[in-house]
Structure formats: C-alpha cells, structure tokens
Structure 1
Amino acid sequence: MKTKHLMLLLFLCVNTVFSQEITKTDSIFHINKKGVKFDYKALIIPSALLAYGIIGIESDGLKGFNANIREEVTEDIDDKFTIDDFSQYAPAAAVYGLNLFGVEGKNNFKDRTIILGTSYLLMGTWVTVMKKTTSIERPDKSGFNSFPSGHTATAFASAEFLWQEYKDVSFWYGISGYFVAAGTGFFRIYNDKHWLTDVAMGAGIGILTTKIAYWVFPLMDKYIFTSKENRTTAMAAPFYNGKQLGAGILLNFN
C-alpha cells in the first residue's frame, strides 16, 4: 500500500459525497435560505465512515491495515508538517472571507454563525466523549486519545459548512473545503498522530454534525432566536485538538 493509495481513499470519500449531493435537485431539498430538509440519503456517507471507524476498534484486519498505512505513509519522514493545525479551520474561515469580499452565501452572518456554532458544539462533544471512553493509543505513543481524530472532525465539519453555504453559488467554492479536509486527514496520519480509522471516524462525525446543524436550525430560529428586541446571546463551542480541551464563545448582539 503506497501513500498515493491512501490519498485516493480519502478523495474517494470526497468524490462520493459530491456524486450523491449534486443530483437533479440534491438529495437534501432546501426549506428556505436558512435550513435544509432532512433526507435519509444524506446519512449514507457519514454513516459508512462512522461504521468503518467503529468496526476498526475491534477488527484485527482493519488494525493490520492501519499499521500498513502508517508504515507506508510515515516511512522515511524527517520533518513533520503541522499545517493540519490550521487547515482544519480553513473551510469555515473561507465562508466568512468570501462574504467579506462580497460573495454572498446561503445565510447571513448571524444565521451561519449559529449553524457553525451548533455544529462545533455537537462535534466537539461527540469527539471528546469518544476519546475519553475508547482510550486508544496514538501511533506515536504520545497518548491514549487517538480515536477519533478531532482535527479531521473539525476539518470535515468546516468543509460541509462551506459546501452548504456555497454549493449553489459555485460548485468549486463548495468542493474546495472537502479537498482541504481530506488533506488535513492525510497529514494527521503523515504526522503519526492518528490511524486511518481515527480519520474515517472524525470525517463521519464532522460531516454528520454539520448536516444536523442545518436540519435543526429552522427549529432553533423559530423557537429560540425569535425575539426582535435588542439582546445579546451567547453560545459555547467546545474543541479538542488531541492535547488541549477548550471552548470558543460566540457572542451575538442583535
């Protein structure tokens, strides 16, 4: 198994997502400019990634495959590239950057920030709980918090956010986030921080939590963010990067 085969596997996941998404009217139909309607077809890809990751916890075959991937990818590595510490946030940052330069996406600043905060809250909680309960050792033996990959989960949550906000504006704007996310997953393995199953699980979590955030936002907008009076709202979004646990605070002034 060569490095290029791993990259092919990661990008196959990306391409499968888009082949499913860009059907005649999308597998997820828009309710309005803010949210999207639930469709079970949208669960296929993240569910497959989650299943692969979970099965890999106990499967000797997948553990062996993990070891083979690690050996090929990390062979003869002299220097590690920490670009994954930053690339995980790049797709989400691109949403705000495009808006800043006048390229409007699906939602306004307030709505998209609530959606992203909801996604990060769900994703961060899910990742943290699984790291604590599984206690799987990292490939470089630096800790027992390998499963799942928090960097990859953040990257794919951000990628799905970019896709949902800009797929109707430009296919290339939307797809770019998934290439960055796949690269982030690759570098988590390259830097000897995660197994392939960690990365697959993180990708599934990231995609699914952002989809959930869009599905539930119309209800949140209707029942939680309904007051037209001037007020300040706050939302905490936890994060876990493998070593540090923290939270980002979103303040919204209406």
Structure 2
Amino acid sequence: MRSFLVTRFAAAMLLFGAIHPVQAQVNPTPTDTTKKYANPGGVSTPGSKPFFKSKLFKAVAIPAVMITYGAITATGNSGINRSARDFTQKQFRPVSTGFDNTLIIAPYFELAAVALAGVESRNDRINTLLIIAKGEAIMLASTFAVKYLANETRPNGADNLSFPSGHTAQAFLAASIVHTEFRDKSQWYGVGAYTIATSVAALRMINDKHWQSDVVAGAGFGILSAHLAYLSHRNRWGRKSIGRDIGMSPAYFGSGATGMTVTWQPKK
C-alpha cells in the first residue's frame, strides 16, 4: 500500500513537471522594449484617415458632382437642357428680373436677422464677415472665369455668358454660409436659406436666362466657394462676443444693385 502511494505521488510529480513547461510556453511573450521611448506619454497614435473621410473630400465632393453634371449636360439647345426649358416655359410665366437680383442675397438678410435676434452663430461677426468676403471673392473669380472660357449662349440669346449661373452661385454661397453658421442651433435655418437659393435657380430658368445645366453648376460653384472659404479661414480672434459694436446687413441700392453695409460704433 505504501509503495502504491509513493508510486502515485511520483507519477503526479512527473505529470506536473511535464505540464508546467507547457503552461510557461503559453504565457504572453516579453514586451518589445526597442521602441521604449518612442511614445513616452503612452498615448496610442491614431492611424491616418482614409481620403474619403478627410475634410477636403467632404467639402468638395457634392459641389464637384454638381459642377461635373452641369459641364457634361451643358450642350445648349439640345437634350436635357431643351426638355427642361420646354417644361419650364409651359408651366411658368416670366417674372421681373429685379426680383432675381434682390433674392440672391436674401439668405444674408436671414443671417443678419437671426444674429440680431440673439442666436449665437458659429463665428463672431468679424470672422463671419471675413468668410463672406473670401467666399464672394472665390465665387466671383471662379464663375466669371468659367463663363468666359465656356462661351455658352443663353437660352434667350442675349450673350455668351450662360454657363454657369452667377445668380445661382451667389444665392447658394449665401445659403451655405447661413447653414454653416447656424446648423448647430437648428437645421431649419439652412433649410430656409437653401429654399431661397433654389428659388433663385428656378427663376433664372423661368426668365429664360439660363439652362438647367447652368443653375446646377452655379449651385455647385456657390457651395464650393463657401466650403473653401471656411477651410482656408485661420484668422480667428476667439469666441468673445463683440455685442453690437460691429454690425452688418445686406442692402439694396436700387436699379438692381445690391451689397452689404457695415456699421461700427466705438466703445466709450
């Protein structure tokens, strides 16, 4: 009996000795210390984002599609343009072009009204004004350059500056700025602004000033100009409120002339 117990104990010890090395082998491998000081803070380095998730891609994707579509379908009095023009003329009567000229900056009136109502925008008034100025410069330079290069005849034959629609570009630029400034407060501000801009595009077709390709591309140029203005804007002075010392508002000067007025009241 005693020899049997001794034999069992010896067998158990041999079995433990055989298993123990196996257990040691499955333990985690030693940590590689060759890059011990590469990241002393211990913060994991985020991987680079795919291109389609970058800010630049998100900013240019939609307007690029709109501009491309407009360029492809910009064939003048044929195809999709012809069909859209025939449908528009059958369904609607022309209206005063003075209404077009005023409505293009209506989103800026919305921007000023909402700001005066006390709704905090994304940027303070100085930075918003700088973004508007930059966006206007980008939009005017790009649209008029393309107009002269494209040399597209208007539906009514007035001139060869049809593509793209500058009125539509202006309206969508203003609408994009309104949407960006107040989208954190409510999406309805942007909905209202884009509704106005879409109305401008429709009026340009109703008044036989532009083909449908012109207004689609014009909307793309307007949105793209706003996005580029925001992406390139680095001249910030913080979020400190400047009260009513500086104000801006759209203005109509008669004879179809529109613009912006800026008021400044120095502090005592």
Both structures adopt the same fold (TM-score exceeding 0.5):
yes
1:84 CA displacement: 2.1
Pair 1:221–1:108, CA change in 2 (3 A): closer
Describe how 1:98-113 pairs up with structure 2 within 5 A: 98-113=114-129
Question: For residue 158 of structure 1, what is the amino acid of its counterpart?
Answer: A
- Matches of 1:180 and 1:126, distance apart in 2: 22
Return closer, same or farther for 1:94/1:67 CA change in 2, 3 Å cut-off. Answer: same
- Give the gaps of 5 or more residues in structure 1: 1-28, 30-36, 223-243
1:185 alignment partner AA: A
Asked whether the 8 Å contact 2:100–2:204 carries over to 1, the reply is yes
Letter in 1 for 2:73: G
Alignment RMSD, CA only?
A: 2.9
Correspondence for 1:40: 57
Q: CA distance change for structure 1 residues 144 and 80 in 2, over 3 Å: closer, same or farther?
A: same
- Work out whether 1:70 is the aligned partner of 2:85: yes
Greater gyration radius: 2
1:169: which partner in 2? Answer: 185
CA distance 1:69–1:167, shift in 2 (3 Å): same
Aligned to 2:72: 55
SS of the residue 1:169 aligns to: coil
CA distance in 2, matches of 1:146, 1:100: 37
Q: C-alpha distance in 1, partners of 2:264/2:66?
A: 34
CA distance in 2, matches of 1:205, 1:221: 25
Q: Tell me if the contact between 2:93 and 2:206 (Cα under 8 Å) persists in the aligned partners.
A: no
Mapped pair 1:186 → 2:193: no
Q: Tell me the alpha carbon deviations over residues 8-39 of structure 1, each in whole angstroms, 9 at most, x when there is no partner.
A: xxxxxxxxxxxxxxxxxxxxx9xxxxxxx824
Check the 8 A contact 2:59/2:228 in 1, yes or no.
no
State the percentage of identical aligned residues: 30
Q: Show the 5 A alignment for 1:102-141.
A: 102-141=118-157
Q: Which digits, 9 at most, give the CA deviation of each residue in 1:195-252, with x for residues without a partner?
A: 001001100000011011111112x448xxxxxxxxxxxxxxxxxxxxx999979798
| Equivalence map 1:1-254=2 (5 Å) | 38-58=55-75, 63-75=78-90, 78-82=93-97, 83-218=99-234, 220-221=235-236
**Superimposed CA distance per residue, residues 26-85 of structure 1 (whole angstroms, 9 cap, x where no aligned partner):** xxx9xxxxxxx8241232211110101111235x8x941101110110127554243322
**Moved beyond 6 Å, runs of 4+:** 244-254
Q: Which 5+ residue runs of structure 2 have no aligned equivalent?
A: 1-52, 238-255
Q: Which amino acid aligns with 1:65?
A: I
The whole-number CA distance in structure 2 between the counterparts of 1:202 and 1:245 is 20
What is the alpha-carbon distance in structure 1 between the residues aligned to residue 157 and residue 91 of structure 2? 18
Alignment TM-score, normalising by the size of structure 1: 0.69
